[in-house]
Structure 1
Amino acid sequence: MRATLLNCSLKPSPEPSNTQVLADVVVSAMKGWGVETTSYRLADLDLAHGVETDMGDGDDWPRVHESITSSEILVFATPTWVGHPSSYAQQAIERLDAMISETDDDGKPVAYDRVAGVVVTGNEDGAHHVISEIAGALGDIGFTVPGQAWTYWNRGPGPGPSFTETDEGHDWSRTTGVTMAANLVAVARALGQSPMSAPPSDG
C-alpha cells in the first residue's frame, strides 16, 4: 500500500517544518502497517496556478498527481495562517480539482477508492476550521475521508511557541495521529476489497 504526503508549509527546505514533524507521526504509524509514503514539500516545487493537472512546461504538479493516483492514501498537511489553510494548501486543492473530471477505464473518478486525512499545525486557534475546509474539498473531489482521519496541534488563542518549540499538547496530537493512520489504513484496505461503483451516468 502506498501513501502520498503533501506538506503545505510556507517554508522551503532546509528550514525546519513544524507541519512535517507532526505529519511524520502519521507516516511512521502507517509504515508499521506496511505503507510506503512519498512526501512532497510544495514550497520546494515549481507549481503553476490553475485547475488543470498539467499546466505546461516547468510545472511540477504532474509528478505529484501521478504519485497521488498511484497511492491509496493521501495525507494533506498544512499550517494555519490567520485561521485558514496556507496558500500552498489552497493551490493544491485547486490543482486537485482537475481530478473531478478524470476517470479510469471503467468511468470511475480517479479519486474514488482513495482515502485522505488532514494534519494541521499552528500556534493559533482555527485547526477545526482548517480541517473542515480541506476535508470538505477532498470529499468533493472524490476522496473518502474516514472518521477521525485528522490530527492537529495548536497552542490556543493568541500568539505563542510553535510545535517544535514546546512539548505542550504533543501527547494528544501524537495519539490522535496514530489513530488517524489506523483509520486511513483500515478504510483503504476495505475499499481495496470492496471498491466503489462509478456514479450513475446523466443518461
Structure 2
Amino acid sequence: MRAVIINCTLKPSPAPSNTEALARVVAEALEQDGVTVDWVRAVDHDIKPGVESDMGDGDAWPDIRRRILAAEILIIATPTWVGRPSSVAQRVIERMDAMLSETDEQGRPVAYNRVAGVVNTGNEDGAHHVISEISGSLADIGFTIPGQAWTYWHLGPGAGPDYLDDQRGHDWAAKTGRAMARNLVTVARALVATPIQPPPE
C-alpha cells in the first residue's frame, strides 16, 4: 500500500517546515503499518494555474497527479494563513478539480477507492476550518474521507509560536496523527477488499 503526502508549506526546500514535521508523525505511523510513503513539497515544483490535468510545457502537475493515482492514501498537509489553507494548497486542490471529469477503465471517477486526510499547523486559530475546507474538496473530487482522518497543532487563538519552536501540544497532535494513520489504512484496506463499483447506468 502506498501513501503520498503533499506538503503545501510556503517554504521551498531545504527550509525547515513545521507542517512537514507534524506530517512525519503520521508518515511514521503509516510506515509502521507497512505503507510506503511518497513526499511532495508542492512549492518546489512548477504547478501551473489551471483546472486541467496538463497545462503544457513545464507543468509539474502531470507527474504529481501520477503519484497521487499510484497511491491508495493521499494526505494534504498545509499551514494556516489568514485562517485558511495556504495558497499552495489551494493551487493543488484546483489542479485536482480536473479529476471530477476523469474516469478509470470501469467508468468510475479516478479518485474513487482512495482515501484522504489532512494535516494542519499554524500559529493562529482556524485548524477546523482548514480541515473542513480541504476534506470537503477532496470528497467532492471522489476521495473517501474516514472519520477523524486529520491532525493539527496550534496554540491559538491569535498568533503564537511555531510547531518546531514549542513542545506544548505535541503529545496530543502526535496521538491524533497516529489515530489518523490507523483510520486511513483501515478504510483504504477495506476499499481494496471491496471497491466502490461504477455508478449504475
Q: Given the two structures, how large is their TM-score scaled by the length of structure 1?
A: 0.98
**Separation in structure 2 between the aligned mates of residue 112 and residue 158 of structure 1, nearest angstrom:** 38
What is the aligned partner in structure 1 of residue 32 from structure 2? Answer: 32
- The unaligned stretches of length 5 or more in structure 2 are none
**Could you tell me how far 1:123 is from its partner in structure 2?**
0.6
**Separation in structure 1 between the aligned mates of residue 58 and residue 67 of structure 2, nearest angstrom:** 17
**Could you tell me how far 1:200 is from its partner in structure 2?**
3.0
**Could you tell me how far 1:160 is from its partner in structure 2?**
1.3
**Could you tell me how far 1:157 is from its partner in structure 2?**
1.1
Secondary structure at the counterpart of residue 3 of structure 1: strand
What is the aligned partner in structure 2 of residue 11 from structure 1? Answer: 11
**Could you tell me how far 1:197 is from its partner in structure 2?**
1.3
Residues 70-102 of structure 1, C-alpha deviations (whole Å, 9 max, x = no match): 100001100000100000100000000111111
Residues 8-41 of structure 1, C-alpha deviations (whole Å, 9 max, x = no match): 0000011100000000000000000110011100
**Separation in structure 2 between the aligned mates of residue 177 and residue 148 of structure 1, nearest angstrom:** 9
- The unaligned stretches of length 5 or more in structure 1 are none
Letter in 2 for 1:56: G
**Separation in structure 2 between the aligned mates of residue 127 and residue 200 of structure 1, nearest angstrom:** 37
Please list, as runs of the form range in 1=range in 2, the aligned pairs for 1:1-203 lying within 5 A after superposition.
Answer: 1-201=1-201
**Separation in structure 1 between the aligned mates of residue 177 and residue 17 of structure 2, nearest angstrom:** 17
Residues 140-195 of structure 1, C-alpha deviations (whole Å, 9 max, x = no match): 00000000100000111122110000001000000000000000000000000000
**Separation in structure 2 between the aligned mates of residue 40 and residue 167 of structure 1, nearest angstrom:** 26
**Separation in structure 2 between the aligned mates of residue 178 and residue 5 of structure 1, nearest angstrom:** 15
Secondary structure at the counterpart of residue 89 of structure 2: helix
Percent identical among aligned pairs is 62
Figure out how many residues of one structure are paired with residues of the other and give that number.
201
Secondary structure at the counterpart of residue 95 of structure 2: helix
**Separation in structure 2 between the aligned mates of residue 173 and residue 199 of structure 1, nearest angstrom:** 38
